[in-house]
């Protein structure tokens, strides 16, 4: 009768011949981004999200960035789109570019877009469309969450404040 050691020695080489069990198929799990339920003004939200440390009303950001941050007319993820002051946007507005969709469409994250005064909700992944004649993002239309449509109002913008010092050029992607 073979010893236990001999039996193991005979069976061990056969262990590699066994058919492994089939891999377990797991359904893909899609986890939506967490919803931020805070009520904020656009400026502190943009400052927090972009790491661009400017202050003042939204329309002041364009001039305040001069010499401190790169400014440009084309969107980049992480840049801040600066809306000019208008009758409807008495303080201007700022929104952080979340993603690029096409040459004339971006998605932004911003706060207080659909509130007239006081802090408002944070809106994530909202459509902004460039409607400027020169494709330079100086005139845009913005998604309006309460109506769930692209707004018809054309808002003038100054451009994009980029999260880097001036003179560093475009980021490689």
70 phi/psi in degrees, rounded to 5: -65, 140
What is the Cα 155 distance to its own chain's centre? 20
At residue 18 the predicted structure's pLDDT band, cuts being 50, 70 and 90, is very low
Q: Which two tokens stand for residue 78?
A: 């992480």
pTM confidence score: 0.76
Contacts for 14 with CB less than 8 Å, ≥ 6 apart? none
Q: What is the pLDDT of residues 105-149, one digit of tens each?
A: 999 999 998 665 667 888 899 999 999 999 999 999 999 877 888
Give the span between the Cα atoms of 135 and 137, in whole angstroms.
6
DSSP code for 87: S
Give the span between the Cα atoms of 172 and 7, in whole angstroms.
62
> What are the structural domain ranges in the chain?
39-162
| CATH 3.30.300.30 is right for the domain spanning 39-162 | no
């Amino acid at each position: 009768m073979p010893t236990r050691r001999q039996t193991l020695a005979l069976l061990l080489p056969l262990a590699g011949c066994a058919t492994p069990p089939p891999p377990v198929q797991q359904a893909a799990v899609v986890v939506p981004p967490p919803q931020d339920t805070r009520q904020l003004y656009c400026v502190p939200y943009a400052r927090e999200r972009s790491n661009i440390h400017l202050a003042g009303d939204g329309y002041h950001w364009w001039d305040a960035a001069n010499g401190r941050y790169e400014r440009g007319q084309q969107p980049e993820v992480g840049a801040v789109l600066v809306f000019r002051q208008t009758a409807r946007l008495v303080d201007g507005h700022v929104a952080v570019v979340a993603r690029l969709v096409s040459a004339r469409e971006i998605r932004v994250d911003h706060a207080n877009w659909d509130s007239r005064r006081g802090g408002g909700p944070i809106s994530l992944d909202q459509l902004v469309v460039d409607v400027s004649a020169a494709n330079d993002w100086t005139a845009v239309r913005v998604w309006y969450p309460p109506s769930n449509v692209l707004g018809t109002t054309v808002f003038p913008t100054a451009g994009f404040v980029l999260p880097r010092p001036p003179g560093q050029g475009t980021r490689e992607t």
